[in-house]
Amino acid sequence: MGGRTGVLLMAALALAAAGALAVRARGSDEPSGEGAVTVGSVRVPAAELEAAAARLAGGHPRRLAAARAAAAARAIERLWLSGEATERGLRPAPQLGALRAQVADAVAGRGRVPDAARLAAAFDAFHARWRARTRCLGPYRDPYEDRCGDAAGPAVASCRWMGEATVCGVQGRARWLVVRESPSARATRAAAARLPRRLARTLRSGRGGVVGLRSRADALAIARAVYVVARAARVRAAAQRARAAQRAAAARERDERARDPRLTTKTLASARDACERQLRDSEPYMFAFGTQDAAGQAQGLIGARTALARRVRAAAADPIDRAKLRPLIAAIAAGNHELQRLAAGAPSPDLTTLRRRNARLDARTEPERAISRRLGLGDCLARPAKPE
């Protein structure tokens, strides 16, 4: 239970039992020595609690007694929650709010949330188990939280944490209070939607997170509805975080793959098969290239290369490989354009002319070979031999 809840309870219980809290909070023991509060084997020094109390009191001497109790309650709460989480094999969350939620869900159990009475019994057992391990000097005994096992239960009020709200039995017209730490309008509406109309109205009419009721059963029903809504919100948030983490991991994997020039094994195998087929299909047009039927030879090579581009595009196992293959396909198209230019020229028996033409074709098609090698395809494309 946080500091805001403590302030709310102090105010509400003070109204329910005028003046009694101030008497109990002062106590008769002076804060001194080590271990002002002890939970199991863990001791909280008085100096530590006094420093926290001074900050809470804000320099107002009249507030110091209540601030001591509040500081001790806060320290005890964290020790209880951390201890419970550890005993259940959990790693205690570093933030107090997350730690409360972690332990609350563990105490309530998995699956469907128990009914109000069984849920209250589970949190009562948690409280009793840790109260029995807790010892406090008089000034650090909270007047309503009843956390110190070496002291009698409070005469004014008896409060129990129930995960998202604290339920207190008090003296007065409203015999039961439900105090929520940080109620939002949305959470209130969602909790009210789970309650009978009468209790829904009561919950919505609460001020400052405090609802007064005459029946313990009604108080427990409201506390359960509040917990169910908060737990469902945590489940949704956890699912959203998991999906976001999966998307981020997938994005990182895509980025890493996009930076890696290599193709996936599946794509690489299919692309290599396409290359081998293109080399075989090109073979009939390679002999004495450009010396006789230059146009026919060029068109034959263009046909084999166009089929290669089509098969390579189909070989891509996913969009990332498709993007990696796109430059090769574009380079093949550019090489085809150069072959068409070469085919437009008349055949020449002159070796110098043929060498010049083939050298230009070789230079213009170098990008496709560089890309092919970068992708792991080696010298994939057929290359006319230099005329001798």
What does the pLDDT read at residue 136? 95
Tell me, rounded to whole angstroms, the distance of Cα 280 from its chain centroid.
54
- Using alpha carbons only, how large is the chain's radius of gyration in Å? 39
Tens digit of each residue's pLDDT (9 = 90 or more) over 47-82? 999 999 999 999 899 999 999 999 999 999 999 999
Q: Residue 377's pLDDT is what? A: 92
Count of beta carbons in the 10 Å neighbourhood of residue 254? 14
Where is average pLDDT lowest: 106-115, 151-160, 181-190, 222-231? 151-160
Looking at the chain, list the stretches that DSSP marks H as alpha helix, in order from N- to C-terminal side: 3-16, 20-26, 46-57, 64-87, 96-108, 116-131, 185-192, 197-205, 216-259, 265-282, 294-315, 319-344, 351-364, 366-374
What are the pLDDT digits (tens) for 96-145? 999 999 999 999 999 999 999 999 999 999 999 999 999 999 999 987 88
**Which of 383, 276, 261 has the alpha carbon at shortest distance from 327?**
261
pLDDT of residue 385: 60
* pLDDT above 70: residue 222: yes
Average pLDDT over all residues of the chain:
86
Q: What pLDDT score was predicted for residue 143?
A: 74
Q: With 60 as the cut, is the pLDDT of residue 12 above it?
A: no
Q: What pLDDT, in 10s, does the model give residues 16-42?
A: 433 333 333 333 344 444 679 999 999
Is-contact 167 223, C-beta < 8 A? Answer: yes
Question: Rounded to a whole number, what is the distance in angstroms from the first to the last CA of the chain?
Answer: 92
Residue 6 has pLDDT above 60, yes or no: no
293 near 347, Cβ under 8 Å?
Answer: yes
Residue 349 banded pLDDT, cuts 50, 70, 90: low
Structure-block tokens of residue 2: 């946080």
pLDDT tens readout for residues 236-248: 999 999 999 999 9
